[in-house]
A and B are shown apart, each in its own frame.
Chain A
Amino acid sequence: MKNVPASNPAHDPAKGQTAKLSVYVSSSPHVHTPEDVPWIMRQVVYALIPGALVGVYFFGIPAIKVIAVAVASCVAMEALWQKLTGSPLTINDGSAALTGLLLAMNLPSGAPWWLVVIGSFVAIIIAKQIFGGIGNNPFNPALVGRVFLLISFPVAMTTWPEPRSFFTQAADATTGATPLGALKTAIFEHGTIGAAPEMNLMDPFLGNVGGSLGEISALALLLGGVYLIARKIITWHIPVTYVGTVVVITGIFWLINPDGYANPVFHLVAGGLMLGAFFMATDMVTSPITNTGKIIFAVGCGVITVVIRLWGGYPEGVSFAILIMNAFVPLINSATKPAKFGAVR
C-alpha cells in the first residue's frame, strides 16, 4: 500500500494497529468560506476609502496625519496591551486598524496628534481590550473614543477647518461652523433657520462643508455603503431604517413648521448620519444579530439622533444615539430570537 511507512510493518488493522499517516483530523465541516475576519475588515476599509479621500482632498495634509496617527496608535496600543497581558496577538485581524480609521474619520482634521492618541487609547484599551478584546465590547470603540474626546476637549473637538481644495493647502486653514452647527446656532439665537447661512444641499452631498474629516461627503459614504451591502458585509436593515427614521421624523416636523426646522434631505446629507448609519451603527459586535433586531436598533438610533439634533444641546446626535442604542443590544437580541424550525407551539 502506498504512503505507508515501512517502520512498523507488523501492524494489523484487525487488531487496531494501523500505520500512521500524516493528516489533520478535526470535527466536520472540513471546508470553509474564504471570507474571514481580516477579509471583512479589509472590505470595510475599502468602503471607507472614498470618504477618506474626500476628507483628504478638502482638508489636506493634516487629514492624512490624523488618519496615520490614529491607525498607528490603535494598532500599537492593542499590540502593547496584548503583550503586557500575555494574551495572543490579534492585530493581524485588522480590527484595530479599522477602529483607527473610523476614529480618524470622526475627528476634525485639525486635531492635534496627542488628542488622536488619547482617543485611540480610550477606543482600544478602555472600550475594547478591558472587556476582553474583540467580540466582547458592548459599545462601539471608535465612538467611545470620539465622545470621550468631545466631552473632555470640547474646543479642540469643535474647531472645524474650512474645506478647501487640496491644491491650495499652503496657507493656514480658517475655521468655521459645520452645517448642523450653523443650524443649531440659528435656532438657539434666533428661533428660526432663516438666520443660518445659505444651506444648499449640494455642498454636504459632495463634501464641500466643515465637519469631521470622514463625514463630510454623503455621496462618497453612500458609495462605500452600497459596496458593503453588495458584498454582503452588512445588510440593508440598519442603514436604510436609520436614515429612513431620521428622514421621516424630521420630515414631519419640517412639514409642520418649515421655518423652525430644516428639511429632511438636509438632515440626510449634513452631519455624521451617513457615516453613522452605514459604518458605525452597522458594527457587527455592537449591533443586534438578527434582522428584526437590527430594525428595532436602527429605529432607536434614528429617534435619538433626531431628538438631539432638533432639541438637544449638541448640533449632532449620531454618536450619542448609537452608543445609547448599543446598550440595548443584548436586550434586543433576546427579544428577537429567530423562529426555531419545528417549534412546538
Chain B
Amino acid sequence: MISSILLLGGIGFLAALILGVSAVTFAVKMDPREKAVLDQLPGANCGACGYAGCAAFAHEITTNAEAEMACPAVNEEALQAISGVLGRTLGGSAPLIACVRCKGVPEQTVNRYEYVGPKDCRAAQLVAGGSKGCRYGCLGLGTCETVCPFGAIMMGEDGLPHVIESLCTGCGKCIDACPRSIIQLIPRSGNYYVGCISKDIAKDMKPLCKVGCIKCGICADICPFEAITVSKDASAVIDQTKCNRCGLCVSVCPTGIIAAVRTPGKARISPEKCKGCSICEQVCPVEAISGKVKEPYLVNEGKCIGCGLCIEKCPADAIERIIS
C-alpha cells in the first residue's frame, strides 16, 4: 500500500517537474500588451484586416507604432480598450454593414436551365454563367452564408441571403465570395439601399425578374437630398454620403425594390405634449398623420414610413420614434 502511494506519488511529482521545466524553457515570449490587444479582438480570424488572423494583427499593431486600426469588427468599447493598452489613440473606421442588393426570389424570377453541380455560387457561375435568367441576380446557393465567420448572413426560406444586423461586422468576406458582386458594404449609419444591380434595360429585365429595378427614376426625382442616381442601363444607387434616411424613395418605388437594413421606427405622438399645431400633418410626406387643430394629432402606424420628418419639425417635441 505504502509502496503504491510512494510510487504513484513519485511518478506524479516527476511528471509535474518535467511539465514545469518545459513551461519555463519552451515558453513563447509574448508582449503582455499583445495578449491584451488579442483579447479585445473578435477572434474570428476573418482576415478583413489583411493579416493572417487576429493573432497576426495583434502582433502587428503592438509592435508597429505606425500601424492603423484595420479590424472592422471591433466596437467602440474594444477600440478604447486597445488604445488604452497601447498608449495611443486609434481611430476606428466608420463601421460598415453588408447589404444584399438582389431581391429576386425564385417565384419572381426565371431560370435559364436546371443547374447540376456543387452547391456553391462561384462554382455555379462557371457553368454557362449561372442558371439565373438575370445575369446580375442572386444564384441562391448560399456561398455567402458558408464563408461568413460571424454567422451574420443566412439563406432564408425565400431563397435569398439575409444579413443579421447585430452580427455583421463588415469584414467583407461575403463581398469577395459573391461571384456577381451582389453584396455591398454600406455605413452602419445608413439604412436604405436599392435591392437590384441589374444593368439590363427595363424591357429586357422584366421577362427575367418581376421585382427588379425598372429604372423609372421616380426615386431619384423625389429624393430631397439628390442622393439617388439611375439611368436606363444602370439600376438606382443611393449615395450613402448624401442619404438622410427619410425613406421617401421607399414609399414611391413601384416595385418596392428599395430595402431597409433595419425596420425604421415609426412615429408616435404623445397626447399629453401635443399642442395640436398641425405642423406634423403638413410635413408628413405620406399623409399618415391626422387630427383636429388644438387637439392631439394621431399617427396612422400602417401608413407611417418612419422618415422622422415630423419628429424633427414638431415644436413641442411631442413625437418620438418607437424602436421595433
Contacts and interface: CB of A to CB of B under 8 A. Distances in A.
Contact of A25 (B110, B127, B133, B207): B127
Contacts of B117: 26-27
Nearest to A23: B113
Interface residues of B, number: 14
A26 B127 contact: yes
A25 B113 contact: yes
B13 interface: no
Contact of B207 (A8, A22, A24, A27): A8
Contact of B110 (A18, A20, A23, A26): A20
A18 B133 CA distance: 10
A21 B113 contact: yes
A17 interface: yes
B18 interface: no
B125 to A, nearest CB: 12
A15 B117 CA distance: 28
Contact of A27 (B110, B114, B126): B126
A23 B114 contact: yes
Interface in B201-230: 204, 207
B204 A24 contact: no
Contacts of B207: 8
A27 B113 contact: no
Interface in A13-58: 15, 17-18, 20-27
A24 B126 contact: no
B84 to A, nearest CB: 44
A27 B124 CA distance: 9
B44 to A, nearest CB: 23
Interface residues of A, number: 12
Indicate the member of A24, A25, A26 with the most B CB atoms within 10 Å: A25
Given A8-B207, A17-B204, A26 B112 contact: no
A15 B204 CA distance: 10
Q: Which of A8, A20, A26 lies at the interface centre, i.e. has the most chain B CB atoms within 10 A of its CB?
A: A26
Contacts of A23: 113-114
Contact of B113 (A8, A15, A17, A24): A24
Nearest to B111: A20
B204 A27 contact: no
A23 B116 CA distance: 10
A8 B204 CA distance: 11
A17 B79 CA distance: 52
Contacts of B169: none
A25 B123 CA distance: 13
B131 interface: yes
A21 B113 CA distance: 7
Nearest to B128: A25
B203 to A, nearest CB: 9
B12 to A, nearest CB: 28
Nearest to A26: B116
A192 B110 CA distance: 81
A226 B312 CA distance: 87
Nearest to B208: A17
Nearest to B200: A16
Nearest to A21: B113
Contacts of A20: 110, 112-113, 133
A25 B129 CA distance: 11
B134 to A, nearest CB: 12
24 contacts: A17-B204, A18-B112, A20-B110, A20-B112, A20-B113, A20-B133, A21-B113, A22-B114, A23-B113, A23-B114, A24-B113, A24-B114, A24-B115, A24-B116, A25-B113, A25-B115, A25-B116, A25-B128, A25-B131, A26-B115, A26-B116, A27-B117, A27-B126, A27-B127
Interface of B: 110, 112-117, 126-128, 131, 133, 204, 207
Given A20-B112, A25-B128, 6 more contacts: A23-B113, A23-B114, A25-B114, A25-B131, A27-B117, A27-B127
